[in-house]
Amino acid sequence: MRIRERLANIAAVEGVVVALIFLAMIIFFSLSSPYFLGSQNLRNLFVESTFTVLLAAGTSYVLIVGGIDLSIGSVLGVSAGLTLLTMQKTNSLPLAIAVGLASGAAIGLLNGGLIAGMGINPFIVTLATLSIFAGGLNVLTTRAQLIGTPSKSFASLAQGSVFGLPSPVLITAIVVILLELVLIVTPFGRRIYAAGINDRAAHMAGVNLRRLRLQVYILSGAIAGLAGILLASKLNSVQPGLGSGYELTAIAAAVIGGVGLSGGQGSVWRSVIGALFLATLSQGMQLLSISSTWFTVVTGISIVAAIAFSRMTQRLAATVRPAASPPEPTQPEPEPSEDRTPAAAG
């Protein structure tokens, strides 16, 4: 087998390329800095990345169904604010978590209602709600002092650890695995892909697009709400502008991981790889004392590189003829009664 063919076969496995680059980057950083693989650094890396990982996981649902959700950053901020406010007022952890999740889901319901119910373009709807709820958080923070709650149990949500694992990492891991499973094995997940591949055909085949899109946006909002709860617990304070820009990082992570913006392709774990990639990049640059102002530049370059690379591997895979292709099953049956071959008569 020629090297080219082997390369093409490897590249054809979904997500392998990003994972390999990710691995190469980890090796590079660990050789460049002795601290990189230190347990404290890894711990920081994972804890810091949980918020992006969660948002990216939720946003992959939206992207696969063929939509986009720009509001998740401000949903995160508003949920964080309302969670902390509830903690301050009631000191009830379950209630605070419920408020955080419900506020996210409610904004998702609003997004989904406008998009699926009224048929407004998702980019426009979520751009508007992004603005509305970023402003809402600003109003909230001027009305209430969202600094600190003495509750230990609330703090332990994002600062504690279970079996030596930081609890936000554990929570995120469980949620991500659940999201991936739901997408892969349930009818709900199957319909999401179908709608993303060809929404008109899915509709004619009996997929209830309206309900499906509504559900996806609610889910996206609720996941952003969860990220907000964790962030509030970690910071133990909520400032105006919290969460702004997270939506773009999450979408960038999904795209770097290989989730298409046109719908129907990608998966949760690919977005997670993309998010971890960006987090590692940021951490590594800090360790190498590269100014953090360069980070967004590198993020942008990564997006372009990821797209360009996937196009190249697609082309490579298309030009190489796979050796193990199945034979055509269409063999004409010989008919003994008619022996003459149809010849050209003209």
Partner 1 sequence: MWEIMSSRSTDAALLVDDQDTGPQGSVVLEARGAGKRYPGVIALDDVSISMRRGEIHALLGENGAGKSTLIGILSGITEPDSGEIIIDATPIKFSNAAQSQSVGITTIHQEQTLAPDLTVLENIFLGRELRRGSLLGRFLLDERAMRKRVEHLVEEFGLTAEDLRRPAGTLGALKQHAAQILKALAFDARVVILDEPTSGLADHERMSLFENMRRLRDRGVAILWVTHRLDELFGLADVITVLRDGRNVATVDPGTQTPDSLVRLMVGRRRSAVADNSSQARGTRWSGPEEEILRLESVSRAPLVRDVDLVVKRGEILGIAGIAGAGRTELARIILGADRADKGQISVNGKQVRIRNPRDAYNLGIAIVPEERKTQAVLGDFSLAKNISISDLSRVTRAGMIIDRSAERKLANVYVRDLEVKTSGIQQKIRNLSGGNQQKVVIARCLFTRPALMIFDEPTQGIDVAAKNEVYRLIYEFVDAGGGAIVISSELPELLRVSDRIVVMREGRVAGEVAAGPAQSEDERSDRAEVIMALAVRSSS
What is the longest distance spanned by two Cα atoms in the chain? 95
- Asked if residue 338 binds partner 1 (CB under 8 A), the reply is yes
CA 109 – CA 116 distance, rounded (Å): 10
Cα separation, 72 vs 104, in Å, equals 8
Query: Does 250 participate in binding partner 1 (rule CB under 8 A)?
Result: no
Any contact of residue 329 with partner 1 (CB under 8 A)?
A: yes
Q: How far apart are the first and last CA of the chain?
A: 46
CA separation for the pair 291, 278 (Å, rounded): 15
Binding mask 170-189 for partner 1 (x = CB under 8 A): ---------------xxx--
Sign of the dihedral through C-alpha 152, 158, 161, 162: positive
Q: Please report whether residue 261 would count as binding partner 1 according to CB under 8 A.
A: no
For 14-46, the DSSP string reads TTHHHHHHHHHHHHHHHHH-TTTTSHHHHHHHH
Over the window 130 to 169, marking each residue x when it contacts partner 1 by CB under 8 A and - when it does not, the resulting string is ----------------------------------------
* Choices 18-26, 194-202, 232-240, 278-286; region in contact with partner 1 by CB under 8 A: 194-202
**Residues 270, 202: contact at Cβ < 8 Å?**
no
Closest to partner 1 by CB, 143 or 200:
200
Q: By CB neighbour count within 10 A (0-12 exposed, 13-18 middle, 19+ buried), where does 318 fall?
A: exposed
Supply φ then ψ for residue 147, to 5 degrees: -125, 115
Tell me how far, at minimum, the Cβ of 18 lies from partner 1, in Å.
Answer: 20
Other beta carbons within 10 Å of 152:
10
Q: Is there binding between residue 208 and partner 1 (CB under 8 A)?
A: yes
Asked if 191 is part of the footprint of partner 1 (rule: CB under 8 A), the reply reads yes
Minimum Å gap between C-beta 341 and partner 1 is: 8
Question: Least distance (Å) from partner 1 to the CB of residue 117?
Answer: 13
Residue 182 C-beta: closest distance to partner 1, Å: 9
Closer to partner 1 by CB, 92 or 265: give it. 265
- Given 4, 152, 190, 311, the residue binding partner 1 (CB under 8 A): 190
Does residue 270 belong to the site contacting partner 1 (CB under 8 A)? no
Kindly list the residues in this chain that would bind partner 1 in the complex (CB under 8 A): 185-187, 190-191, 193-194, 197-198, 200-208, 210, 264-265, 321-322, 325-330, 332-335, 338, 341-346
